Structure 1
């Protein structure tokens, strides 16, 4: 059935994206995803897409039981020590110092800093209003080479903090202007080596962007569960609004975007733990997961086909292609991503060679930004599909997760939304688990 569908439906793009090669490669990837002798035993922890809720503890293969206990501890601390006082801190314009002290006592601060360096004290110093870390030029050789880091304590001559600034968001974080006038610092105030400040800051950027991305996806998971609870309880005309197909499809879209983003972020966390997370990959995580959080219209790649009039064809549906289920959908998703990867490289080669007004069009910022968007979408999709391949090799790939892969991965393809079950059917399958009783 799949072979016949591929020959019929994929022939229109075969010359563009080498469909035969893509199909062969996809089949090979599925075959090689099977467990090999000597491999580590597979994890039996469910992925986020298969969990009862997106906020379940005990999920995700990057974690173990120790992580679960730590997450439970942090969640309990947050519920007891943060949530009840948050509005009070927003009015005050800052978080109480007592919170940091309690967090330090619980071992929740400076986790990555070795104990011999005073991890809790270091974390408190950076958060304390009495000690600040700042960068300033110390050499004029080059912009990057001439920056050093210093610690400045409150009360030092020449240093003064202005009044707190009112902000639209992050109201519990104190923000103020800082004034430095003829400040003289002892040699002991130097943080690290002279002229190495810029490099210290750059080395920490991937981790900082990873933290921002993680906050974005965690917020999205929370908002999704709040939305699900609302639509399954709110009634209109005698039924909950979760019975409305439009609501179900929107929930399916949102859950897919969140789970794909979570998979990519977990991959980044794994790379970071292995000290292999580069700035570009961390930037992708921050960029794409920020889009998910922004009210979660999310990634727009999946909407491209609708804009060119394919939606009518999709809505008619090719239901006879629904027989193979998870493995078929994974194969289609892998083909779609492989096609997108090939077309991206073809596009990159074109824009770096095509000239206009004496320069290649790759010099245009709008072109560069569009390439960055497309590469991010493709890399996030590839990460999720690879995770599905791993689940498939462990015989743990369920229909919902495969549906997410197939729905997401038709980024730049004009045919994948049709066979293997239309993307409207994918939404139906995903939505069933969302609106069903927990």
Structure 2
């Protein structure tokens, strides 16, 4: 079935991305997995090809193009080669952190950070999650206290994507402990800030090439003009941008599931058992039919959600639906893919095995899928 989502510009962009992935990404994947880090030079190389900083206005060196479909194209091409760690690192900057800089930053702040982000010279991260506060942002304990022309930030953040090598980190902290959800503010903390340090690169079961770190703040001195958005409105700022983050996760999940399905289909057509291709067995054929149908139906919903985001009408509930559905489907497709590969599906030299462990976190970060269902059901029940 023809999707009709992309036009000639998107397909021209795809050709550039595909060439870039083949030249700059594929040869380095194993190295990055072993080093537990994607070389930051990749961001600079991507910028030279016009692949990042897409939504940054041209006056700051970006592409001036906010159409999220271009991001979908890049996700699809990275997923096709199993570059899940690369996809997550770039998505963190482009889809999750960038909207905060574009929509909340002052003119001075934009001049300070947007050119570097667009050029791939600055890698960004966003620090919300804490050791004792995951999906429940209201439970955060990190504080920021005004001290003359600085804020002193104290606390710890964990599971921070790009955290180990980020140059700018958006940090959520309590500026008024007595104000509850109205006492949280956002700050941009730069690498080298006194009192800001990083812990070890966290050991994960998947996404080995993606640096995930603990961040620590001990009287970290942040200039007052690094406050991002309005003081006390940090939670609202976060909530307003979570729909895009969750749609981005859903898009990545869909792209990864499509890649896993393609690898599996190719394998069962070639692999023989009892004298005939594995694909010829009815149980295999029916599994493939079920997965193909689920992928097509899921993609139709995501296509609609992308157009809604472009039009400014994507709701928190619809983004939550996309996130939990697509990530659950990704689990199902990769799990069945491993099964249909047989023993080889358990071998890490096969992309389906890596995809299986890489996919597990998708239903956890960005708000667990249980939280997504809470968001959806709350609207249904409370109206």
Distance 2:376 2:233 in 1: 33
Q: Secondary structure of 2:179's match? A: coil
> Is the 8 Å Cα contact of residues 261 and 334 (structure 2) preserved in structure 1?
no
Say if 2:100 is the partner of 1:100. Answer: no
The answer for the alignment partner of 1:121 in structure 2 is: 116
> Is the 8 Å Cα contact of residues 269 and 277 (structure 2) preserved in structure 1?
yes
Deviations 1:207-244 (A, max 9, x none): 11111101111111111111111111112233212221
Matches within 5 A, 1:416-435: none
> Is the 8 Å Cα contact of residues 130 and 154 (structure 1) preserved in structure 2?
yes
The answer for the alignment partner of 1:184 in structure 2 is: 221
Which of 175, 185, 202 matches 1:138? Answer: 175
State the shift of 1:70 in Å. Answer: 0.9
The answer for the alignment partner of 1:320 in structure 2 is: none
Closer, same or farther: CA 275–141 of 1 in aligned 2, 3 Å: farther
Closer, same or farther: CA 228–135 of 1 in aligned 2, 3 Å: same
The answer for the alignment partner of 2:156 in structure 1 is: none
Distance 2:300 2:224 in 1: 46
Q: Secondary structure of 1:294's match? A: helix
Distance 1:272 1:370 in 2: 18
Q: Secondary structure of 2:291's match? A: helix
Closer, same or farther: CA 198–115 of 1 in aligned 2, 3 Å: farther
The answer for the alignment partner of 2:145 in structure 1 is: none
The answer for the alignment partner of 1:225 in structure 2 is: 262
The answer for the alignment partner of 1:37 in structure 2 is: none
Which of 10, 13, 30 matches 1:67? Answer: 10
Deviations 1:47-81 (A, max 9, x none): 2xxxxxxxxxxxx2121111111122222212221
Deviations 1:70-106 (A, max 9, x none): 1222222122211211111111111101101001111
The answer for the alignment partner of 2:207 in structure 1 is: 170
State the shift of 1:295 in Å. Answer: 3.0
Which of 186, 195, 204 matches 1:158? Answer: 195
The answer for the alignment partner of 1:208 in structure 2 is: 245
Which of 13, 22, 32 matches 1:89? Answer: 32
State the shift of 1:371 in Å. Answer: 8.4
Taking structure 1 as the reference length, the TM-score comes to 0.53
Distance 1:254 1:220 in 2: 9
The answer for the alignment partner of 2:367 in structure 1 is: none
Cα-Cα RMSD: 2.6
Distance 1:118 1:284 in 2: 35
> Is the 8 Å Cα contact of residues 317 and 375 (structure 2) preserved in structure 1?
no
Q: Secondary structure of 2:186's match? A: strand
> Is the 8 Å Cα contact of residues 321 and 376 (structure 2) preserved in structure 1?
no
Distance 1:100 1:262 in 2: 28
Specify the structure having the higher radius of gyration (Cα): 1
> Is the 8 Å Cα contact of residues 173 and 186 (structure 2) preserved in structure 1?
yes
> Is the 8 Å Cα contact of residues 216 and 290 (structure 1) preserved in structure 2?
yes
State the shift of 1:369 in Å. Answer: 6.2
Closer, same or farther: CA 143–62 of 1 in aligned 2, 3 Å: farther
Whose strand proportion is higher, 1 or 2?
Answer: 2
State the shift of 1:117 in Å. Answer: 3.9
Q: Secondary structure of 2:210's match? A: coil
Distance 1:219 1:184 in 2: 41
Count of matched residue positions in the alignment of Structure 1 and Structure 2: 250
State the shift of 1:251 in Å. Answer: 0.6
Distance 1:99 1:369 in 2: 38
> Is the 8 Å Cα contact of residues 170 and 186 (structure 2) preserved in structure 1?
yes
Of the structure 1 ranges 243-252 and 151-160, higher mean CA displacement relative to structure 2 is found in 151-160
Distance 1:121 1:283 in 2: 32
Q: Secondary structure of 1:277's match? A: coil
> Is the 8 Å Cα contact of residues 244 and 309 (structure 2) preserved in structure 1?
yes
Distance 2:334 2:21 in 1: 29
Deviations 1:256-293 (A, max 9, x none): 01101001100101111110001100000011111111
Gaps of 5+ in 2: 63-114, 125-164, 336-369
Closer, same or farther: CA 118–202 of 1 in aligned 2, 3 Å: farther
Which of 239, 245, 257 matches 2:294? Answer: 257
State the shift of 1:118 in Å. Answer: 4.5
Gaps of 5+ in 1: 1-45, 48-59, 299-364, 376-438
The answer for the alignment partner of 1:341 in structure 2 is: none
Distance 1:116 1:197 in 2: 27
Matches within 5 A, 1:319-330: none
Closer, same or farther: CA 121–228 of 1 in aligned 2, 3 Å: same
The answer for the alignment partner of 1:198 in structure 2 is: 235
Q: Secondary structure of 2:222's match? A: coil
